[in-house]
Chain A
């Protein structure tokens, strides 16, 4: 399977701080990049997607993509305790055209009140 690498964490940040989550991927043909949030015992939910190099902002979340470096990141501003979850990076399979997503193992984020 394609490699999608994330630091497993845990990453701890104080409430109100910026949380920075990073992801690298191996498939240079990948075109679509997604961030999912998964609470313990629950299913993943989509929070951000990005297709083009640069930044994309949505509320407190900013996704950053650098295809040359094969790197995608997620910034969470003004972190809240409710943001405590595992964040999964997902990258589409770009070579065969099937375009199914491959996921990293996730980074566990804890926001300390």
Chain B
């Protein structure tokens, strides 16, 4: 019974490149959430998706960031033209319903050099 799977665990990108982060939710979970965590800070909500739909993207920066959760395959968080300030841990979580607690993946640590 695999949990929430995120890959890669660590990602290094040069400024201006694209970062693509993947998240496969737990089996039976159709709700996916992305959070960003800077060192010594809390989790900042970015986006909430359900299969093929974006439910809430109020925490997502308006430019360079996008997310999808296609009918088949993992959820993808895409950051175009990365800058040093994008360096952070990006956590994906999933739940069976929006009223349940979330199960988090191990995170992707993005470093922009």
Chain A residues close to B by CB (< 8 Å): 1, 31-32, 34, 42-46, 49, 88, 92-93, 96, 98-106
Contact = CB atoms under 8 A, between A and B. Distances in A.
User: Top 4 nearest A-B pairs by Cβ distance?
Assistant: A105-B42, A99-B98, A98-B56, A103-B43
Contact of B99 (A43, A45, A92, A105): A92
Interface string B27-71: 000000101000001111100100000011011000000000000
Interface residues of B, number: 22
B56 A102 contact: no
B42 A106 contact: yes
11 contacts: A1-B45, A31-B99, A34-B102, A43-B91, A46-B101, A46-B103, A93-B56, A100-B45, A100-B48, A100-B55, A103-B42
Contact of A98 (B35, B41, B48, B101): B48
A23 B74 CA distance: 34
B7 to A, nearest CB: 14
A45 B103 CA distance: 7
Contacts of A99: 98-99
A98 B104 contact: no
